[in-house]
Amino acid sequence: MITDPLFYVAAIPAILIVGISKGGFGGGLGMVAVPLMALVISPIQAAAIMLPILCLMDLAAMWSFRGKFDRSLLKVLIPAALIGILIGALSFRYLSEQHLKFIIGGIAVLFTLNYWLRPGSNTPRQPSTLRGGFWGILTGFTSFSVHAGGPPLNIYLLPLRLEKSIFIGTTIIMFAAINYLKLIPYALLGQFDSANLSTSAILALLAPIGVRLGYWMHHRINQTWFYRICFGFLFLTGTKLLYDAFTG
């Protein structure tokens, strides 16, 4: 198990932020954990430590939002995400983390600016199998690589203007499917050694606390502010990814 105190100074707030995000805000800040933990350990090890914790958070979040999801959207998104995971696993040794962060960060920032600046952007958009498939593949791909699937999924779901509990529940089930599917290639790539798993077990104690805090906050913010916060998270995460890409 990792014993460096500096690691836990970074990891504990990271786990709580991710739990709050998953439990109440659509996972928009879910990508912050790996960058924070990577200040002390390698990004690859940070991603491996986070995955079992994310799986536990998904279970807690699904219980909180049970029965609240859009089945028709998931029928398109989950199979597409599986394709993205396979692409991520096959290209694991060829694409750098900086490449991935640049691509998804640029898309997230441009999309948010378009939403804020383009007249009429608040009009709900209709679901599309083509768009859902594309963003589902990109969600699976980026989630596999750096646990940064939130921005591409939000790019597709936010314009649909779903009722906020349906939005959150759909997002939770989507990432639960992705994260449990990722366990197989992560194990095959040798990411789950005893040090990583024991560290995950210690940090996992914080997972339900963060999720419940997010659920509590979710029911105390109205829908207008909810979407403003989500788009703000999307912009911040995109900006952070771009920063990491250029500085890396």
Task: Compute the average pLDDT of residues 196-222.
Answer: 88
Question: In the prediction, which pLDDT does 120 show?
Answer: 58
Average pLDDT, the chain: 85
Q: Greatest CA separation found in the chain?
A: 53
Of the pLDDT bands very low, low, confident and very high (cuts 50, 70, 90), residue 96 is: confident
Q: Structural domain of residue 46, as residue ranges? A: 5-247
Task: Compute the average pLDDT of residues 169-195.
Answer: 91
Of the pLDDT bands very low, low, confident and very high (cuts 50, 70, 90), residue 136 is: very high
The number of distinct structural domains making up the chain is 1
Question: In the prediction, which pLDDT does 21 show?
Answer: 82
Of the pLDDT bands very low, low, confident and very high (cuts 50, 70, 90), residue 200 is: very high
Q: Please give the model's pTM, rounded to 2 decimal places.
A: 0.80
Task: Compute the average pLDDT of residues 5-19.
Answer: 90
